[in-house]
Amino acid sequence: MNPFSSGTCLRDMIRAIRACKTSAEERAVVRKECAAIRASINEDDQDYRHRNLAKLMFIQMLGYPTHFGQMECLKLIASAGFPEKRIGYLGLMLLLDERQEVLMLVTNSLKQDLNHSNQYIVGLALCALGNICSAEMARDLAPEVERLLQFRDPNIRKKAALCSIRIIKKVPALAENFINCAASLLKEKHHGVLITGVQLCADLCKVSSEALEYFRKKCTEGLVRTLRDIVNSPYSPEYDISGITDPYLHIRLLKLLRILGQGDADASDRMTDILAQVATKTESNKNAGNAILYECVETIMSIEDDGGLRVLAINILGKFLSNRDNNIRYVALNMLMRATTLDAQAVQRHRATILDCVKDSDASIRKRALDLLYLLVNDNNVKPLIKELIEYLEVSDQEFKGDLTAKICSLVEKFSSEKIWYIDQMLKVLSEAGNFVKDEVWHALIVVISNASDLHGYTVRALYRAFLTSTEQETLVRVAVWCIGEYGDMLVNNVGMLDIEDPITVTECDAVDAVEVAIKRHTSDLTTKAMALIALLKLSSRFPSYSERIKDIIVQNKGNVVLELQQRSIEFNRILQKHPKFRSALVERMPVLDEATFSGRRAGSLPTAISTSSGAPSNLPNGIAKPATAPIPDLLDLSSDDVPAPSSSGGDFLQDLLGVDLSPTPAPSGADMPPKASTDVLLDLLSIGMPLPVQTGLSASDILSSSQDDKAPFVNFNGLASLSSLSANATSPANAAPMMDLLDGRGPGPQKSEENGQAYPSLVAYESSSLRVMFNFSKQRGSPQTTLIQATFTNLSSNVYNDFLFQAAVPKFLQLHLDPASSNTLPASGDGSITQNLKVTNSQHGKKSLVMRVRIAYKTNNKDVLEERQINNFPQNL
């Protein structure tokens, strides 16, 4: 005899587990029991099989794995006696679900048991089948279940009916086999069979339109009669629940009538009388009665009706809404939400009550009420409702504020007829619950502010006031800082004073103070601080007398641990110190942000065109004069051919303009994923004045830096530095040197290669009578394995090449990243070129040199041309 199998009985095990004081103790007990059960299973011990399974069910309920007991269920089911089968089927339903393959093994036992002479065993099998059968089992056993729908005992018929529901849900194609049997169940007198039969019909209608038509024609009358009988039935103790005979049957009948009446005027007409009777006669002081009324209201609102009944239904909901029971109010709100599509006017009458529900102490009710109220807002009532909601925002629970804020913002946006109202409401929301405002919402606010040119002064003053009173709201601080930076002069000079405003005196010093507060707040996050730095830079130009103080504040962040802030601080300091000439041009007020583009982007699709960034330099986002910046591309030896910029460059248009998108650059995983370096606020401020040879979301920085770096501004700064040293002689070499160290050869241009002393000779990778491909190489310091290659393609023939496509392949020890090409059209006779950047990482650097196979495809004179070649002559040590 196995020493384990004698073990403890179920009761003892449960006691032992309950006696455990810690979960570690409990685990130990369970582990011991499981070991004993496993041993017993291995012994194939028949006497204790059912006890083991019972224990396993308890253990499973506690959340421990019990898969090793699954086969025991099957064995118990396969044994002859009722007690074994009973526990076996229970275990099957608890330990397995339809997704386990073991379940297939039980199909045969189920089939036998469905044909068993003992009706209780048939019942067990039906129960298991109905609870966990898979589609395959449903297909195999459907004929048995269908037969059992006519079994002599009603308790088997009701189980078979519910089992059929599972089967037709798993395999809808089987539905038609069940239609006739289901219809015959509707004539039964036994409540259990009637309830399950009605339910089966309802589910058949959902999966089969044929069934719906059939029941509509043949059964509507009968169902109405059954409902009438049950409504008028005398007291019957067996089914009575608080004075109503079998509310479950009521509800199911109403539900099926709803399905039959929906979209069919004739059927609807036949049921109006009984619905009216149910709606008026049902007692509404107990839950059971209310459940029936609730179902009845839903049926009335779903069927085709002239409106007489609907008034009744809405009145019932009105009564529900004023009920003191929270459950009733909850379902009323739920139902009113559906009623808004039918009769919004009637629901509007309850607006005040619904508004009260928004302020309820119960989270479930609040949520429903807010959803409903959201549907009720229209142009006429938006102002008072928003006022109420914003007032409530002040006192609402923290966890509800997020939801409420989102809804308010969305409503304000949707119904804003005047900009001043929109700005006012948004400022209120920002001051109350700024921390819950989503990014795109305050971005949108800035877009609107920038578009409302007559309100700039008003807005900046309002924001300044709000900022003074509540500095805890992150987004409020951000918007305020942005506006002070942009419109600081209006704040100080009281430009564009409106009649409704209180006069306010703000000195230049106050404005700078405010931004300084923002940058020094401990709670300010990176985005806010970065925005504050930009605001300071802008203010330095708006208030020249405070330039020194601003410089001091900026310099304080020179040693910031966050790279982004450190970098901005150093760059801005540089601008203040060395380039006073450019400063005013650099920090000019932002051009008006394009509302249509922004809303288009918010709608989820990329805009087809960014009107401000394609074409002529005068349209560029920051409107920098071309002469100041034009030399940069030349200095950097970039292609500056007049290829029109492809229009889809606006991926991060607004973020770039705001300079707030600080998301880390995603690691490039393939050539189709252009590096996204939108942290380069300076770059955007400078707004390089060349027609950007940009494709698919690449910003200018990508071209300049030609690497996936997230420090693009340095590169650009290099451009600026070289520019100034060449053109203005303003920068001494000594000053420029540390900058160069920082720059570290990020640029692709040969000049920079020389500066770093890491020059590699350019390579004519490929030359034919029609095409020349040049490779320029550069390295990033610190990663000798990685080579940046700029490929330049020149057309030597006299025909234009269209659909130009360059592809490259490398052996496994290399990794290749291809950036998009600057264009796909190559002008004839060397009159311009295409450039494309490649990044190759050599995992065997120093041992093997680069090798590459290239394929170039293009169209010329409507002919497809394909050229292929292997390139072996790369310089050593790449």
Partner 1 sequence: MIHFVLLISRQGKVRLTKWYSPYSQKERTKVIRELGGVILNRGPKLCNFVDWRGFKVVYKRYASLYFCMCIDQDDNELEVLEIIHHFVEILDRYFGSVCELDLIFNFHKAYYILDELLLAGELQESSKKTVARLIAAQDSLVETAKEQASSISNIIAQATK
CB 838 within 8 A of CB 671: no
User: Per-residue string for binding with partner 1, 208-247, x by CB under 8 A?
Assistant: ------------------------------xx-x----xx
Give which of 855, 835, 817 is closest to 674, Cα–Cα. 817
Out of 68, 120, 421, 813, which residue is the one contacting partner 1 (CB under 8 A)?
A: 120
Site residues for partner 1, window 663-682 (CB under 8 A)?
Answer: none
Binding of partner 1 at residue 806 (CB under 8 A)?
no
Q: Which helix (H) or strand (E) holds 858?
A: strand 852-860
Burial environment of residue 472 by CB neighbours within 10 A (0 to 12, 13 to 18, 19 or more): exposed
Question: In terms of CB distance, is 15 or 848 closer to partner 1?
Answer: 15
Pick the closer one to partner 1 by CB: 192 or 580.
192
Is residue 249 part of the contact set for partner 1 (CB under 8 A)? yes
Tell me which residue of 352, 344, 354 sits closest to 310, measured CA to CA. 344
| Exposed e or buried b per residue across 622-661, where buried means at least 16 C-beta atoms within 10 angstroms of its C-beta | bbbeeebbbebbebbbbbbbebebbbbbbbbbbbbbbbbb
Taking the least distance from each CB to partner 1, the nearer of 247 and 713 is 247
Strand partners, 856: 806, 867
Residue 10 half-sphere exposure toward CB, CA atoms < 13 A? 12
**Of the candidates 36, 162, 447, 587, which one interacts with partner 1 according to CB under 8 A?**
162
Q: How many residues bind partner 1 (CB under 8 A)?
A: 68
Q: Among 58-66, 518-526, 565-573, 667-675, which window interacts with partner 1 (CB under 8 A)?
A: 58-66
User: Six-digit token pair at 78?
Assistant: 């396969």
Q: CB-based contacts of 684: which residues, under 8 Å, 6+ apart?
A: 621, 622, 656, 657, 659, 699
- Binding characters for partner 1, 174-213, by CB under 8 A (x = yes): -----------------xx--xx--x--------------
Q: Is 79 in the site for partner 1 (CB under 8 A)?
A: no
Contacting residue, 61, 71, 104, 311, with partner 1 by CB under 8 A: 61
The answer to whether residue 327 forms part of the interface with partner 1 (CB under 8 A) is yes
Tell me, what amino acid is at 562? V
63 forms part of the interface with partner 1 (CB under 8 A)? yes
Which of 1, 3, 11, 235 is the binder for partner 1 (CB under 8 A)? 11
Q: Which is nearer to partner 1, 335 or 427 (CB)?
A: 335
Kindly indicate which of the ranges 82-90, 432-440, 620-628, 863-871 contains the residues binding partner 1, using the contact rule CB under 8 A. 82-90
By CB under 8 A, which span of 60-68, 533-541, 600-608, 700-708 interacts with partner 1?
A: 60-68
Place of tokens 């504050």: 532
Residues 385-444, interacting with partner 1 (CB under 8 A) = none
The binder of partner 1 chosen from 166, 310, 461, 817 (CB under 8 A): 166
- The alpha carbon of 133 is separated from its chain's Cα centroid by a whole number of angstroms, namely 34
* Residue 51 contacts partner 1 per CB under 8 A: no
By C-beta, is 202 or 721 nearer to partner 1?
A: 202
Quote the CA–CA distance of 775 and 750 in Å, as a whole number.
11
Among 137, 185, 211, 251, binds partner 1 (CB under 8 A): 251
**Following CA atoms 207, 212, 218, 224 in sequence, which dihedral angle do they give, to the nearest 10 degrees?**
100
Q: Is 49 in the site for partner 1 (CB under 8 A)?
A: no
Of the pair 20, 810, the CB lying nearest partner 1 is at: 20
Residue 364 in contact with partner 1, rule: CB under 8 A: yes
**For residues 230 and 274, is the Cβ–Cβ distance under 8 A?**
no
Tell me: does residue 638 bind partner 1 (CB under 8 A): no
List of residues 6+ apart from 668 with CB closer than 8 A: 674, 675, 708, 817
First to last CA, the chain: 75
87 binding partner 1? (CB under 8 A): yes
Give all strands of the β-sheet with 802-809 in edge-to-edge order.
Answer: 802-809, 852-860, 863-871
CA–CA distance, 26 with 32 (Å, rounded to integer): 10
**C-beta closer to partner 1: residue 64 or 813:** 64
Residues forming contacts to partner 1 in the complex (CB under 8 A) are 11, 14, 18, 54, 57-58, 61-63, 65, 81-83, 86-87, 90, 93-94, 97-99, 120, 123, 126-127, 130-131, 155, 158-159, 162-163, 165-166, 191-192, 195-196, 199, 238-239, 241, 246-249, 251, 255, 287-288, 290-291, 294-295, 326-331, 334, 361-365, 367-368
